[in-house]
Amino acid sequence: MKKYDYLIVGSGLFGAVFAHKAKLAGKSCLIIDKRNHKGGNIYCENVEGINVHKYGAHIFHTNDKFIWDFVNSFVEFNRYTNSPVANYNGEIYNLPFNMNTFNKLWGVITPKEAQEHIKNQIKELNIYNPSNLEEQALSLVGTDIFNKLIKEYTEKQWGRECKDLPAFIIKRLPVRFTYDNNYFNDKYQGIPIGGYNKLIDGLLEGIEIQLDTDYFSNREYFDSLAENTVFTGKIDEYYDFQYGKLSYRSLRFETEVLDNENYQGNAVVNYTSKNEPYTRIIEHKHFEFGTQSKTVVTKEYSLEASSNSEPYYPINDDENNELYRKYKKLADEEKNVIFGGRLAEYKYYDMHQVIGSALKKSRDIFGL
């Protein structure tokens, strides 16, 4: 008999939701996390009384009432609505592309005028079979939107010219013919009042956790502690990179405290020109309608993936997906190991999706 029913590697949303359900089912759990805090990428650091989203801006959104009620049972969410703006060399445009954007670009007022404008721009380009991202985007939204709001931003994100990027990266570009600046179409969205740590604290209440603890520092020992393992780290690392490393896109964050009550008037401003090296500036207090006398801003830089950088976004191209399939085959053969979450499933998950996935897994196992 081992000491615990479950060893859970990783205290991010997947690990935390699974642990919560396991505890309700009467199972004993130990969570370990190699970071010095719990919560994975939704962790917030309190700076000057402001919840700073340490691993990038996180806005909760979902269409699923069950998941919305689930998260609200741990912490109340505020009415924050994501309405980012784009700054192109000092010109401000609303995102996602909508009637406010089109009015600012061309002075058009009605949806019909905007549609005509875009249609005419696309027609003049004569692109029938887009062979790269530039042609693909141009054929979807025309010249002006592409040049001011997509081209240089995308080039900063990928570190390559749009002409040299594959067309499949942009399958569709949301264009909205209403004066609606709400970025998401989901029924529910918001930010936990008091920050995401409250959600994690609620999920992990009464569950044993060891921080600063890397599973790979002594995996035989950790395996000996529990009957089952829930692994939410990198799947390729679990298998000693035996088939090679999966690639990720990474980010670099530069955070500073400013002696200024309100720096940019919005939580998220995208910088769509190449004249600024960063892609976005986040002003964290606006997620929670903060009235502190200072503010905290984070500049976000896109990084080419390298083996040393923090893995943020999986690069799900054919080569990496094929590699992942090989690791998945090994994972499927494991008897007492569950692989879950964005790193173990090599999949971009929004928060509501990773919660949904952990709830499904625990329902399958514990029936609740």
Stretch that binds ligand FAD, among 139-147, 159-167, 259-267, 337-345 (CB under 6 A): 337-345
CB of 347 to ligand FAD, least distance (A): 9
CB of 8 closer than 8 Å to CB of 29 = yes
Stretch that binds ligand FAD, among 132-140, 187-195, 211-219, 301-309 (CB under 6 A): 211-219
Q: Counting contacts by CB under 6 A, is residue 349 touching ligand FAD?
A: yes
Q: How far is CA 7 from CA 187, 224, 364, in A?
A: 35, 10, 18
CB of 342 to ligand FAD, least distance (A): 4
Is 348 a known active-site residue?
A: yes
Give kind and range of the element (H or E) at residue 281.
strand 280-283
Distance, CA of 117 to CA of 284 (rounded, Å): 36
Stretch that binds ligand FAD, among 27-35, 119-127, 141-149, 241-249 (CB under 6 A): 27-35
Looking at the Cβ atoms of 136 and 197, the one nearer to ligand FAD is 197
Q: Counting contacts by CB under 6 A, is residue 33 touching ligand FAD?
A: yes
* Position 150, amino acid: I
Distance, CA of 168 to CA of 132 (rounded, Å): 8
What is the x/- site pattern for ligand FAD, positions 155-194, by CB under 6 A? ----------------------------------------
End-to-end CA distance of the chain: 25
| Out of 22, 30, 59, 281, the residue judged to bind ligand FAD by CB under 6 A | 59
Among candidate residues 128, 172, 221, 364, the one labeled active-site is 172
| Out of 15, 195, 314, 356, the residue judged to bind ligand FAD by CB under 6 A | 15
CB of 359 to ligand FAD, least distance (A): 13
CB of 226 to ligand FAD, least distance (A): 14
Among candidate residues 238, 280, 324, 346, the one labeled active-site is 280
Task: Write the DSSP assignment of 205-271 as a string of letters.
Answer: TT-EEE-S--GGGSHHHHHHHEEEEEE-S-HHHHTTTTT-PPPEEEEEEEEEEES-S-SSSSSEEEE
Q: Counting contacts by CB under 6 A, is residue 342 touching ligand FAD?
A: yes
| Out of 27, 40, 52, 339, the residue judged to bind ligand FAD by CB under 6 A | 40
Name beta bridge partners: 314.
248
Among candidate residues 5, 249, 263, 312, the one labeled active-site is 249
Q: How many residues in the shown chain lie near ligand FAD by CB under 6 A?
A: 35
CB of 148 closer than 8 Å to CB of 272 = yes
Q: Which residues, 6 or more positions from 64, have their beta carbon under 8 angstroms from its beta carbon?
A: 352, 356
Is 300 a known active-site residue?
A: yes
Q: Counting contacts by CB under 6 A, is residue 84 touching ligand FAD?
A: no
* Position 226, amino acid: A
Backbone region of residue 254 per phi and psi (left: phi > 0; alpha: psi in -120 to 50; beta: other values): beta
Helix (H, G, I), strand (E, B) or coil at 334: coil
Restricting to residues 254-293, name those near ligand FAD by CB under 6 A. none
Backbone region of residue 56 per phi and psi (left: phi > 0; alpha: psi in -120 to 50; beta: other values): left
Name beta bridge partners: 91.
88
Looking at the Cβ atoms of 36 and 126, the one nearer to ligand FAD is 36
CB of 314 closer than 8 Å to CB of 282 = no
Is 350 a known active-site residue?
A: yes
| Out of 21, 23, 35, 151, the residue judged to bind ligand FAD by CB under 6 A | 35
Closest listed residue to residue 77, CA positions, set 289, 269, 284: 289
Tokens of 35: 């970071």
Looking at the Cβ atoms of 13 and 50, the one nearer to ligand FAD is 13
Distance, CA of 305 to CA of 159 (rounded, Å): 10
Is 280 a known active-site residue?
A: yes
Tokens of 146: 């592409």
Catalytic residues: 172, 176, 249, 280, 300, 348, 350
* Contact footprint for ligand FAD (CB under 6 A): 9-15, 32-35, 40-42, 55-60, 214-216, 232-233, 251, 312, 341-343, 349-352, 354
